[in-house]
Amino acid sequence: MNPPELLSPAGSEECLYAAVENGADAVYFGLAKPHNFNARGRAENIPLEKLGDTMNFLHRRGMRGYLTLNTLIQFDELPAVESLLREAIAAQIDAVIVQDIGVARLARRLCPELPLHASTQMSLTSAAAIELAATLGIRRVVLPRELSIKQIAELRRTTNVELECFVHGALCISYSGQCYASLGLGGRSANRGCCAQPCRLPYSVVQTSTKQKPIFSPHDLAALPLLPKLMTSGVHAFKIEGRLKPPEYVAEVTKIYREAIDHFADNGIEF
């Protein structure tokens, strides 16, 4: 069988190299400040002036690079976003990951051939929603982490759009990151790349207990035991979360999933 693409996070140049050396097929990354229109604005990210060299390096290694422009954009920011898109097109980026419909339309106007991936924050959970996104030029949908394997398989049967799912890393208590807790509690919007992760802080449930624990934070995702079922569901790409994680994390997790994917692809899938 054709194995799914293994997509690793590159929150820094060091993380990008860690992903390359440990078997990733592709990496996803944002641009460094002041060009950080991405959901991990706190990450080191890739400097704009190094974008062309980064893509040349990846392509020489037979890999793909996806640029995250996956925050909601204000009207007065559109000229800056347009400039970034032109830079990405010139650098031969393999795809741009978007949340904002306006950004998708702008990218399609600038370069109809540019592959666009719908961010998980678009919350495309139905075949009808995916088909509507396809009219905007979306070629791949990063599925919400709330979907079950059964639901993913059902979507695969109803659309020709590529499907990508997260297999490892942090989970959000909200639907696909569309949470206002960070904004409401600290003035930092998750949909503007500034999530403070208040769900991971310790709280006290006064009515029942005085013990502090992260009562809102779900356990992190670790889908390694589920890879056979996910591979047969027809998912095109497996995504590792972690653009705020260190290079050591990226290297180890990428290596583990690379070995598992290759094992099942080469030896057949057993449940």
Tell me if the pTM is above 0.75. Answer: yes
Q: Which two tokens stand for residue 1?
A: 């069988």
| Distance separating alpha carbons of residues 271 and 195, to the nearest angstrom | 38
CATH number of 5-171+219-267: 3.20.20.70
- What does the alpha-carbon distance between residue 238 and residue 21 come to, in Å, rounded to a whole number? 18
Q: Between 32 and 197, name the one with better pLDDT.
A: 32
pLDDT tens-place string over residues 155-169: 999 999 999 999 999
> What's the pLDDT at 211?
60
Residue 243: name the closest of 36, 22, 52 by CA: 36
Cβ atoms of 254 and 24 within 8 Å: the answer is: yes
Tokens in use for 155?
């979507």
Q: Per-residue confidence at 271, pLDDT binned at 50, 70, 90? A: very low
Q: Which pLDDT does position 28 carry in this prediction?
A: 98
- Say if residues 158 and 131 touch (Cβ distance below 8 Å): no
Average pLDDT along the chain? 91
Question: What is the C-alpha to C-alpha distance for residues 161 and 141, in angstroms, rounded to an integer?
Answer: 7
| Res 252: pLDDT | 98
Q: CATH 3.20.20.70 spans which residues of the chain?
A: 5-171+219-267
pLDDT tens sequence across 29-83: 999 999 889 988 889 999 999 999 999 999 999 999 999 999 999 999 999 999 9
pLDDT of residue 188: 85
16-41 average pLDDT score: 95
Q: Using one digit for the tens of pLDDT, what is the confidence trace for 162-190?
A: 999 999 998 877 666 667 777 877 888 87
**Whole-angstrom distance, CA of residue 235 vs CA of residue 162:** 7
Bigger pLDDT: 138 vs 177: 138
H-only helix segments in the chain = 13-21, 51-60, 78-90, 101-110, 127-134, 149-158, 181-186, 227-232, 247-267
b/e 48-65 (16+ beta carbons within 10 angstroms → b): beebeebbebbeeeebbb
